[in-house]
Structure 1
Amino acid sequence: MARLPYLEKSDLAPEDQPLLARDINLHKILVHNPAAARAFGALGGYLRHGTTLDARLRELAILQVGWLARSPYEWSHHIKIGHDFGVTDADIAALIQESRGEASALEPLARLVLQAAREVHDGPGIAPATFAALQQQLDPASLTDLVLTASFYCAVVRVLASFEMDVEESYMPYLRQFPLPA
């Protein structure tokens, strides 16, 4: 159970009700502070809709962070979102293999993006060799967006864990199909 109650539109001032346009638990917690919810949503919205990074690669980076953090909420939500942006079940299985240090059938750039996301998650940031390899594959704008994406979602998984966010029932099938390790 979440550490704060999930708010509904009726709990909010009229000017704040649009913050719950997406009826998900993350937003229902963040609206306890509407200004913070707006700021959080601004960067999240850019990363989802304005980034120069390929959408599939972006989702793989996010999924990598969710997997490493053992974040059921992030993992389940971005399996669904990832599917919308071209991530396949085979990609997800390959991500799990890569996370275990096993070889996968992912193309080299996807493997490199996952490596970068692991390095951002583990800290302090992307290793020099990984960064240099990324510079050979991505333009500076896309590389910046990759760093911002992985870093932002490291923060997101900590927000989710701190509030003990519940996974909505509609996302549970994704957790059953691709369970997180214990």
Structure 2
Amino acid sequence: MGLSPLPEDQWDDEVDKALARMLPPERRNPAQAGNALSVLVRHPALTRAFLGFNVHLQFSSTLEARLRELAILRVAHRRDCDYEWQHHAAMGRDAGLTDADIEAARRNGTAADEFDRLVLDAVDELNEKSALSDETWTALGARLDDRQRMDFVFTVGCYATLAMAFNTFGIAPDATAGYSQH
């Protein structure tokens, strides 16, 4: 099962348009786009639509980058997604996560910071119930406003969807796992 990257001879204007929101022109090619995008562009219209949403979460979200990456790492762990884990561990370090923070995302309950533990618990709650309890919503509201909490919920949902896609399509971590594409 799975999908291989789109062959280089099939990279056309539609693929270029699909990647334009995420990558600069010099990276819109099979050698530099990375494994995930090279597979996703097998469906350029879907990729283009999805990347609009994903670009918001990565670059325009009201959620602090460090917390976003912590949440994504918990999703990656819960969904057993190697690609997402390796990619976002690097991005998390760039956003200020320590090795201990990253390990806490793997083993919930071990985060040194109380709010980090709440964020990880909230990811678990969304994963298990597809909703946050009133108690968790209110607790997140001690530090996050409504827009940040909305971005949080959509971040968890988006990366759960990506983990399902990456795992189903068999997308392996990039050879340069540990790099930050952004």
Fold agreement, TM-score > 0.5: yes
Q: Equivalent residue for 1:58?
A: 68
Query: What is the Cα deviation at residue 59 of structure 1?
Result: 0.3
Structure number having the greater helix percentage: 1
Q: Equivalent residue for 2:130?
A: 124
Q: 1:78 aligned to 2:88?
A: yes
Query: What is the Cα deviation at residue 162 of structure 1?
Result: 1.3
Q: Percent identity?
A: 33
Q: Equivalent residue for 2:161?
A: 155
Q: Any idea what the Cα deviations from partners look like across 1:22-78, whole Å, max 9, x if unmatched?
A: 511111111111110011111111100000111000000000000111111110110
Q: Equivalent residue for 2:111?
A: 104
Query: What is the Cα deviation at residue 119 of structure 1?
Result: 1.2
Q: Equivalent residue for 1:88?
A: 98
> Which amino acid in 2 is paired with 1:62?
I
C-alpha separation in 2, matches of 1:34 and 1:97: 36
Q: Note the residue ranges of structure 2 that are not aligned, 5 or more in a row.
A: 20-26
Q: Equivalent residue for 1:176?
A: none
Q: 1:136 aligned to 2:146?
A: no
SS in 1 for 2:122: helix
Query: Which 10-residue stretch deviates more, 11-20 or 158-167?
Result: 11-20
1:35–1:15: structure 2 CA closer, same or farther, 3 Å change rule? closer
SS in 1 for 2:33: coil
Judge conservation of contact 1:69–1:157 (CA < 8 Å) in 2. Answer: yes
Q: Equivalent residue for 1:47?
A: 57
Query: What is the Cα deviation at residue 136 of structure 1?
Result: 2.1
Query: What is the Cα deviation at residue 121 of structure 1?
Result: 1.6
| Equivalent of residue 78 in structure 2, options 53, 68, 75 | 68
Q: Note the residue ranges of structure 1 that are not aligned, 5 or more in a row.
A: 174-182
Query: Which 10-residue stretch deviates more, 126-135 or 54-63?
Result: 126-135
Q: What TM-score do the two structures reach when normalised by structure 1?
A: 0.84
C-alpha separation in 2, matches of 1:103 and 1:94: 5
CA RMSD of aligned residues (A): 2.0
> Which amino acid in 1 is paired with 2:169?
F
1:48–1:9: structure 2 CA closer, same or farther, 3 Å change rule? farther
- Tell me the matched-pair count: 168
Q: Equivalent residue for 2:3?
A: 4
